[in-house]
Amino acid sequence: MWVFFAFGSAVFAGLTAILSKIGIKNTDSNVATAIRTVVVLFFSWLMVFIVGSQRTLAGVSDRTLFFLVLSGLATGASWLCYFKALQIGDVNKVTPIDKSSTVLTMILAFILLGEEITLLKAVAMLLIGGGTYLMVHKKKVATSGVTGRALSGTGSEKTSGVTSGATGAGPKSNLWLAYAFGAAIFAALTAILGKVGIEGIESNLGTAIRTVVVLIMAWLIVFLTKKEKTIKEIDQKSWLFLILSGFATGGSWLCYYRALQTGPASVVVPIDKLSIVFTIAFSYFFLKERLTVKSMAGLVLIVAGTLSLLF
């Protein structure tokens, strides 16, 4: 049954990236993250009361609560990095890096949880790592022909596939890369801490507690950066897609942590990362982001490496 929940998490996660990309087009990424978290919080606690696990809240141990809080902080950091990367970079570039957290998770699961790294897992890690490199790496291209239109909107450079900053050149053009790798690192920590935190607690309740931590963290950053005033400037379309992405995230979380509770982290996480297939497909149809032959080969390697972990 945990395999079913793991694949459900992948489908919802794939929807989340696309809906969020559209929703944060004209919105500060930190504000967007905070708004989405409100939706996820509602969704997660609704499920807690539906299954009746709120009655077990008083019995949650200090150790479990500690790791859930740490997992929540890691999740918050991952989200903030991820949605910032999505805002300034192409979905089909940001997503592969985020999904590379699979490799980090398997390494951490080996070190901290004692989960074995077999020869098959080692090969899978190489395939995923190599595929990620192919999808992200591009040869440098001249920027003199970049039009003003390509530099507008989200700042995503469609003609070259490389995100441009305010100046269209220099280090700022790869800023999305730093945020994407940050998202991957924190996502790996989230999985490991979440695995430990949901031992001895109903998965929906564990997800809801973690969401409270993420909510506090997200809104704290919004107020510290004085971005709360921009909320009134959000247009109706952005509101709609931010709310929808929140529901997609909620569905993904509930499936993901239900799968983690009964399945091995080193397998659940890779299945969840298959959301890249859905994300790339949606980015092609709705955002008109196209893959090069090399990027397509990279996607095939990532999927092959992920699927190999199921055997």
State the average pLDDT over residues 298-308: 87
More confident site: 175 or 260: 175
> Is the confidence at residue 144, as pLDDT, over 50?
no
> Is the confidence at residue 64, as pLDDT, over 70?
yes
> Is the confidence at residue 77, as pLDDT, over 90?
yes
Run of H or E residues at 55: none
State the average pLDDT over residues 292-300: 90
> Is the confidence at residue 143, as pLDDT, over 60?
no
> Is the confidence at residue 96, as pLDDT, over 60?
yes
- How far is residue 204's CA from residue 187's CA, in Å, rounded to a whole number? 19
Closest CA to 215 of 12, 20, 1, 39: 39
Q: In this prediction, what percent of the chain has a pLDDT beyond 70? A: 87
> Is the confidence at residue 243, as pLDDT, over 60?
yes
**pLDDT in the model for residue 150:** 38
**pLDDT in the model for residue 173:** 61
What's the pLDDT tens digit per position in 163-217? 333 333 334 468 888 999 999 999 899 888 877 777 778 888 888 898 999 999 9
- Could you tell me the end-to-end alpha-carbon distance of the chain, in angstroms, rounded to an integer? 16
Please give the radius of gyration of the chain, using alpha carbons only, rounded to the nearest integer.
19
**Residue partners of 267: CB distance under 8 A and separation at least 6:** 6, 309, 310
Please give the single-letter amino acid code of residue 209: I
What's the pLDDT tens digit per position in 121-141? 899 889 988 998 888 876 554
